[in-house]
A and B are shown apart, each in its own frame.
Chain A
């Protein structure tokens, strides 16, 4: 062996044993940075991408394997989202999971991911009955569903009214985006309306929701005690402004977690003060993880959107961040279960199904007290389902969580999940799995 061969051999050995593992974990990001929903899509996409970039820059990836992000622009258009899925599923070493941030896309992708064997992670959106892991083997919606959210909104209204029995005779209006997403809570609210005796008024708003005068005139006429909103994009901003204009009390107006970002309330100015929204994680950037993101991602010149630095910690940014965090932990779990550095999508699915991110683990990851601990099982793909309520302080321009995390009412949602997933299984000839 001459000197040249020795040098080459040493270099090769160093490359193989060193921290830089050549294999890359492929994560497609179905973003929407353009179009009418871009103001919501951008913060989420930035949070999602920044977390994986941080793992690459700070930790050398997950278990020493770097992550390769494969972005694809959907413009929140279901057709484009499906095209993105087809285009990216075989990219790199093969897509490990998808998070499309769209209920419409989720409905289209469920049969595709089931056939292709790729996990679909729809964090707090998508098809609620996918919570039933016996039927939806490839779909996960941890940490909660829209139906959980609907039960928590009703519980909050009941608490403020003096108890569940005080809901009898009350009026609750649901202002919703007239889409698969917006219609999700209706079934639960209808069941609760019958059980607790409140009157439910349904007020759909067509995409994009720029003009809602007729909706709010009806609210003015009917004077509901509470208004719940399942909105997205400009619909949220217009609704909050309209509510303020007709002097609807903001503390009786509760949006779902997709109707509670800074973008939604700022256009209404001071009049949005006291507006409520459901939440499953904290707002703000006062966490060690955010400091790491600034240091390694933004100051390190690795951010996808460098101009976003001052907005790190906004609600939808944190939403994308925690989506990426739970997904990254699922990948790590899958790698650990199968003792591999080159996991397949099926192995990552196993990771999702064994996902266990406790509050202690959250602290290790740099997010102490950011959200609750989550645990997924074979039968339960939605996790604990807990939801809190956050309130907007217009003066300080800050969201704050103002309640403890409520437990969802599984006695209400459980039978509905069973019923809807059984219907899906029957329609698609799926025999539900056995879960130990």
Chain B
């Protein structure tokens, strides 16, 4: 029973880590309808930049984080200036392809700027098991994942306040609801895109910090996007709570599957099981758990 509890908690925690990546996808898709394939690489790029600034310029973590946020905002502006504004009114698949190209450009840029080595990321986040739980209750919970869960909660609250209570947040929601209507009331689509890509860049930084603290910052970080896809399919591409709930379901589902079904059918089923679970949900709710149901009149 204790082991099941442990597996469930670990699944929930892993799910939060997936959600951190999924949130970035949701933000951009919600505001612009663009599926940003480069989100995983943005997490990698942010992580590389953070470690690079700390190592090369001996910046303390807080200063490096602020500088990295500035870099991600600059990156968002560049993406809008060099890519997005030239593709306004293009079909979604064109914008998707542009983000595919962007992923390769960012990966190459990260390599040129900061190199391909594994980089240690230590900004003081707790590591290892929670000792008192392990010693007193024989319950294994990873401290880094607890920190990730707390961070995710804070981030969701901040994003919710930003979207609901601020002028820019309301503008973002207006653009998400109807581009034309938003433009007609004077909302600048370009400004909104820069803002939303900046926010997404900050989310990518948080994901990069958490995943980078777990395994070192290295190029395999770009593949964490693959972990976020089933979360999005399940939670819906437009829902922030969906990204969180979806992450939790995927996290627990894949851990249970690997531990209890894996030994029977050969193991290493985590990855495809997550997709299978998401596909099963899609059959019932194509828009995902919390996604907006799209009804188009012909």
Q: Give chain A's interface residues, CB within 8 Å of chain B.
A: 33-39, 42, 178, 202-206, 208, 210-211, 213-215, 217-218, 220-221, 233-234, 237-238, 241, 244-247, 263, 266-267, 269, 271, 307
Known: A36-B220, A204-B266, A237-B216. A214 touches B120 (CB 8 A): no
Contact call B223/A217, Cβ cutoff below 8 A: no
The smallest C-beta distance from B223 to any residue of chain A, in angstroms, reads: 6
The smallest C-beta distance from A214 to any residue of chain B, in angstroms, reads: 4
The smallest C-beta distance from B182 to any residue of chain A, in angstroms, reads: 38
Q: Which of B30-38, B153-161, B254-262, B279-287 is found at the contact surface with chain A?
A: B254-262
Name which residue of chain B comes closest to A203, CB basis: B267
Asked whether B164 is an interface residue with its Cβ less than 8 Å from the other chain, the reply is no
Query: Bound complex: CA of A201 vs CA of B64, how far in Å?
Result: 44
The smallest C-beta distance from A311 to any residue of chain B, in angstroms, reads: 9
Which of B3, B215, B221 is the one whose CB lies under 8 Å from A217?
A: B3
Q: Which residues of A contact B77 (CB under 8 A)?
A: none
Going nearest first, the 5 A-B pairs with the smallest beta carbon separation are A36-B220, A214-B258, A204-B268, A38-B116, A267-B216
Contact call A211/B268, Cβ cutoff below 8 A: no
Q: Which residues of A contact B116 (CB under 8 A)?
A: 33-34, 38-39, 42
Which of B120, B134, B140, B222 is the one whose CB lies under 8 Å from A267?
A: B120
Asked whether B10 is an interface residue with its Cβ less than 8 Å from the other chain, the reply is yes
Contact call A220/B140, Cβ cutoff below 8 A: yes
Contact call A214/B115, Cβ cutoff below 8 A: no
Contact call A210/B118, Cβ cutoff below 8 A: no
Query: Bound complex: CA of A244 vs CA of B142, how far in Å?
Result: 11
Contact call A245/B218, Cβ cutoff below 8 A: no
Contact call A234/B218, Cβ cutoff below 8 A: yes
Q: Which residues of A contact B58 (CB under 8 A)?
A: none
Asked whether B290 is an interface residue with its Cβ less than 8 Å from the other chain, the reply is no
Q: Which residues of B contact A37 (CB under 8 A)?
A: 220
Query: Bound complex: CA of A203 vs CA of B107, how far in Å?
Result: 31
Known: A210-B220, A217-B140. A267 touches B215 (CB 8 A): yes
Contact call B227/A211, Cβ cutoff below 8 A: yes
Contact code string B240-251 (vs A, CB < 8 Å = 1, else 0): 000000000000
The residue among A178, A206, A245 with the most chain B CB atoms within 10 A of its own CB is: A245
Contact call B14/A211, Cβ cutoff below 8 A: yes
Asked whether B271 is an interface residue with its Cβ less than 8 Å from the other chain, the reply is yes
Asked whether B177 is an interface residue with its Cβ less than 8 Å from the other chain, the reply is no
With A213-B13, A215-B258 given, can you name 19 additional A-B contacts, CB distance below 8 Å?
A34-B108, A36-B218, A39-B218, A206-B270, A210-B214, A210-B220, A213-B142, A213-B255, A214-B7, A214-B255, A217-B7, A246-B140, A247-B134, A263-B216, A266-B118, A266-B120, A267-B120, A267-B215, A269-B120
Query: Bound complex: CA of A97 vs CA of B111, how far in Å?
Result: 30
Contact code string B8-27 (vs A, CB < 8 Å = 1, else 0): 00110110010000000000
Q: Which residues of A contact B222 (CB under 8 A)?
A: 36
Contact call B117/A42, Cβ cutoff below 8 A: yes
Query: Bound complex: CA of A38 vs CA of B268, how far in Å?
Result: 23
The smallest C-beta distance from B113 to any residue of chain A, in angstroms, reads: 13
Contact call B3/A241, Cβ cutoff below 8 A: no
Query: Bound complex: CA of A217 vs CA of B128, how far in Å?
Result: 14
Name which residue of chain B comes closest to A262, CB basis: B118
Query: Bound complex: CA of A39 vs CA of B217, how far in Å?
Result: 11
Asked whether B237 is an interface residue with its Cβ less than 8 Å from the other chain, the reply is no
Which of B17, B142, B271 is the one whose CB lies under 8 Å from A245?
A: B142
Asked whether B197 is an interface residue with its Cβ less than 8 Å from the other chain, the reply is no
Which of A38, A214, A269 is the one whose CB lies under 8 Å from B270?
A: A214
Q: Which residues of B contact A211 (CB under 8 A)?
A: 14, 17, 227, 270
Query: Bound complex: CA of A34 vs CA of B116, how far in Å?
Result: 7
Name which residue of chain B comes closest to A178, CB basis: B268
Q: Which residues of A contact B134 (CB under 8 A)?
A: 247
A-B contact pairs, 18 of them (CB 8 A): A36-B219, A178-B267, A202-B267, A206-B268, A210-B227, A213-B13, A214-B254, A234-B218, A238-B215, A241-B127, A245-B127, A245-B129, A245-B140, A266-B216, A267-B118, A269-B120, A269-B127, A307-B115
Q: Which residues of A contact B107 (CB under 8 A)?
A: 34
Asked whether B55 is an interface residue with its Cβ less than 8 Å from the other chain, the reply is no
Query: Bound complex: CA of A271 vs CA of B254, how far in Å?
Result: 28
Q: Which residues of B contact A213 (CB under 8 A)?
A: 10-11, 13-14, 142, 255
The smallest C-beta distance from A284 to any residue of chain B, in angstroms, reads: 19
The smallest C-beta distance from B298 to any residue of chain A, in angstroms, reads: 42
Asked whether B6 is an interface residue with its Cβ less than 8 Å from the other chain, the reply is yes
Asked whether B45 is an interface residue with its Cβ less than 8 Å from the other chain, the reply is no
Query: Bound complex: CA of A36 vs CA of B107, how far in Å?
Result: 11
Q: Which residues of B contact A202 (CB under 8 A)?
A: 267
Q: Which residues of A contact B202 (CB under 8 A)?
A: none
Q: Which residues of A contact B193 (CB under 8 A)?
A: none
Query: Bound complex: CA of A218 vs CA of B14, how far in Å?
Result: 16
Known: A202-B267, A234-B220, A267-B118. A217 touches B10 (CB 8 A): yes
Query: Bound complex: CA of A255 vs CA of B266, how far in Å?
Result: 22
The smallest C-beta distance from A85 to any residue of chain B, in angstroms, reads: 23
- List B116-160 residues whose CB lies under 8 Å from chain A: 116-118, 120, 127-129, 134, 140, 142
The smallest C-beta distance from B148 to any residue of chain A, in angstroms, reads: 12
Query: Bound complex: CA of A247 vs CA of B128, how far in Å?
Result: 9
Contact code string B205-245 (vs A, CB < 8 Å = 1, else 0): 00000010011101111111001000000000000000000
Q: Which residues of A contact B129 (CB under 8 A)?
A: 245-247
Contact call A234/B117, Cβ cutoff below 8 A: no
Q: Which residues of A contact B111 (CB under 8 A)?
A: 34, 38
- List B95-121 residues whose CB lies under 8 Å from chain A: 107-108, 111, 115-118, 120
Query: Bound complex: CA of A98 vs CA of B14, how far in Å?
Result: 41
Q: Which residues of A contact B255 (CB under 8 A)?
A: 213-214, 217
The smallest C-beta distance from B68 to any residue of chain A, in angstroms, reads: 20
Which of A205, A241, A307 is the one whose CB lies under 8 Å from B215?
A: A241
The smallest C-beta distance from A259 to any residue of chain B, in angstroms, reads: 14
Which of B13, B117, B267 is the one whose CB lies under 8 Å from A39?
A: B117
- List B145-186 residues whose CB lies under 8 Å from chain A: none
